[in-house]
Amino acid sequence: MAVSPLAALHRKLFDETDGVKFSKLKDRLLKKHAADERQAVLDILIAYAREGQLLHWRAFLMSDIVHLVEGSQHAAFFAWALGQPELAYRAVDGLLKSIGVEAYAPLVALAASGATRLDVRARAIKSLAVFSRQPFDQGLPSDPGHWKAEQLRLSAVLAWQADGYPDGAGYKAPATHETLTQPLSRLEIAAAFLERNLALRRQREQDLAQPSNWLTVASAKDMAGIDAQWVLPEIYRRFLEWYSPLRVHVDGKRFPRGLHLYGAAELVKAQHGYSVHAVSLRTIAAWPPKLVVIADAGGDPYCVHLEERSIDGDLPVYRAEHGTGGWRFELHTDDFIGFLHEIALAA
């Protein structure tokens, strides 16, 4: 009797001992059979996660299993996987996807367990926050694997449980300036162009508990701190006030090491290590006194000069390489507007 292609793949997966070959077999299984035979593929992957011989692949398969699962049919598997250290991290999301609010109690218990790995406890709290729209993850790294023990807001989670697991309000998007939708000036048009491209990046990945790649309205407090430090050129000050970058990071061919564009909340502190000693907070004599760092790419500073202006009020942007024994600045763009366009094209 002929063996079906799916059954043959099933057998090969369980017999394979080479991780690279296993990866190719798994990809073939998903590509050729997941769309039309989703349940059968799920059964194969779940069986491997339970008893497959390549232990690291048992954990890696959990992401595919969570992606494919629909309904509560596999809730028992995810409940079992929560007790397996190598599977528990992804099992959290599988249980929530399978049974929704019924997963709250076991996940709170998991988060509260001192015997459970820190990253799994953090994953439980992060996923509960996302699912319930509660702010247990506010301001914390998007990846809970980077959370520290003191960042687990367990008391808030337990209070939420005692209150009957109410839904939260979620997070509002950062406030943006109205001119981003109706730009008129050169600065407004450049900022709107950058915002459109950042919005595409946000569509691919965004966590409003720790929003990134936004142009936001700066706080009066942050602008007052900047004004106390410098008299900025008007075009750059207006950019910070109306379009303050919030965790704006771009990469690609133009910035292969990634470029971080500073916002109003970080501009003063961002000078540490350049014009200001990070520990003593004393001015560094070797730094040109009129240069303000507005961005960096892998530590290489991009700066504006406080006293250089063009006829239209714009200003050039300079760049230097760090780690060369001394700062040698070169003109990067003739004007700040051009720098914004360059960043937009990299976003």
pLDDT at res. 252: 81
pLDDT (tens digit per residue) in 92-120: 999 999 999 999 999 999 999 999 999 99
pLDDT digits (tens, 9 = 90+) for 121-143: 999 999 999 999 999 999 999 99
Phi, psi values for residue 17, rounded to 5°: -115, -5
Share of the chain above pLDDT 70, in %: 99
| Gyration radius of the chain over CA positions | 26
Identify the three-state secondary structure at position 259: strand
Other CB atoms within a 10 A radius of the CB of residue 298 amount to: 13
pLDDT at 311: 63
Closest CA to 235 of 343, 156, 312, 328: 312
Render pLDDT for 38-79 as a digit per residue (tens, 0 to 9).
Answer: 999 999 999 999 999 999 999 999 999 999 999 999 999 999
Whether 192 and 177 have beta carbons less than 8 Å apart is answered as no
The number of residues making up the chain comes to 347
pLDDT at 202 over 80: yes
Bigger pLDDT: 151 vs 323: 151
Q: pLDDT averaged over the chain? A: 93
pLDDT in tens, 153-162: 999 999 999 9
Percent helix, percent strand, percent coil in the chain, to nearest 5: 50, 10, 40
pLDDT category at 326 given cuts 50, 70, 90 is confident
Distance CA 227, CA 237 (A): 9
Which tens digits make up the pLDDT trace of 238-267? 999 999 999 999 988 888 889 999 999 999
Q: Span 285-301, mean pLDDT?
A: 92
Instruction: Please report which residue ranges of the chain form alpha helices under DSSP H.
Output: 5-15, 19-33, 38-51, 55-68, 75-81, 88-99, 104-112, 118-132, 154-162, 186-204, 220-229, 234-243, 336-346
The pLDDT value recorded for residue 43 is 95
What is this structure's pTM? Answer: 0.76
Mapping DSSP to helix (H, G, I), strand (E, B) and coil, where does residue 217 land? coil
Q: Is the pLDDT of residue 323 over 80?
A: no
Contacts of 316 (CB under 8 A, 6+ apart): 304, 305, 308, 310, 331, 332, 333, 334, 335, 336
Interatomic CA distance for residues 266 and 73, integer angstroms:
48
